[in-house]
Amino acid sequence: MKHLSLSTTPTEAQWNSVIRSASNPHFNQTWEWGEFYGMMPGIHPIRLLAMEGEKPIAMLQAFEWKKGPLSLGITSGGAGEGGGPVFVKTIDRDTEIRCYQSLIATLFRIFKEKKSLRFLLYTFPGDELPAPDISAKTGIKSTPILRLQESEELFLQSLGHEGRWEQTIGIKRGLKIMEGGRHDLQEYCEIQHAVALAKKLNTKHMNTLREWEKLWDICSKKPGTIRFYIGKKDEKMVGALIVLYYGDTFFLRGAVSNPEGKKLLVNNALYGRAIIDGIRDGYVFCNMTGGTRDTHDPIYGITAFKLSFRSELVDFRRYSAIGNRYINYAVEKIRRLFGYNLWFPLPIYP
């Protein structure tokens, strides 16, 4: 058995050498994502690299959220889409298990050492590896994943008559689907904000225009990493969708539509366009980010919409723990007085 070592100070070159040859790459485990998320106030990346000798073979990216000297939380991955650890394709099963357990256990130890208040880690979809020996609760999350058809025609056939009708009804009524750019982000933010107000959601947790622009600028350094699809009627935006690309998978994020867009079924058209473009560009999987198997859950309607594209729910794990309960309680009470909660700042608000 070869010696396995862990580094907490990997270089960008070492990091990219793993993710370029990974069997399960994920956008929230990339170096660029760490740069973007690390720009948010109080957020600090934690990067763990597993090495066999001098060869990087696995990694796990996480983030610490601090307010002054207080560590409010450590998180890795996303509740909607999952995350890491990430392994190179050539790794054998036994080494994969060792890396998986060592990386997660090390991150949990960091959580304990920093006396952080919360710990959240979401693993990769399809995770069936033996859990590490840590004092954290284990839960199951799900995300709809679509294995792409070989052609646009086969995809449209798979939707059936009703699905194809839903793809085109808005177009027949004057809806136009196109790729947007950085200059469209302000209008997108305005729609998000209006929808949040209509649903009486707390807008203090919404992404700002500046945060969206940061994401766009960092992702745009690598062509083909991000796309922004928008739906317009009479030259006004009625819906939009952010798509992030990595490896053989693309991730649908941040879909939003106003009341007029809903009447035009703009989300159906946006998802369909993104999937068809993904097929044409040779991608294998589409992670629709966020779903539930519980038919009584309020978000099951959204899950059913995603499953209508012939995706399937794939499970991944959620490891969670609470730090000092008394400090946790006090901080939560204080933040709620000012209209905030203890959610970890979201890089892309749902």
Q: What is the pLDDT of residues 112-165, one digit of tens each?
A: 999 999 999 999 999 999 999 999 999 999 999 999 999 999 999 999 998 888
- pLDDT value at position 336? 77
d(CA 73, CA 88): 28
Predicted TM-score (pTM) of the model is 0.90
Mean pLDDT of 296-302: 89
Confidence tier at 327 by pLDDT (50, 70, 90): confident
CA angle 93–136–30, rounded 5-degree value: 55
Which one-letter DSSP state was computed for residue 180? -
For residue 230, give the H/E element and its range.
strand 226-233
Q: How would you classify the pairing of strands 70-76 and 118-122?
A: parallel
Distances in Å between the alpha carbon of 284 and those of 47, 49, 231, 291? 28, 27, 25, 20
For residue 105, how many other CB atoms are within 10 A of its CB? 15
E strand or H helix that includes residue 250: strand 249-257
Query: What span, in angstroms and rounded, lies between the C-alpha atoms of 259 and 321?
Result: 39
- What burial letters (b/e) apply to 277-299, b meaning 16+ CB within 10 Å? bbbeeebebbbbbbbbeeeeeee
Residues 226-276: tens digit of each pLDDT: 999 999 999 999 999 999 998 889 999 888 999 999 999 999 999 999 999
Spell out the domains of the chain, with CATH numbers in brackets.
Answer: 4-141+316-337 (3.40.630.30), 149-283 (3.40.630.30)
Question: What pLDDT is attached to residue 341?
Answer: 63
Please identify which residue in the block is written with the tokens 């998802």.
271
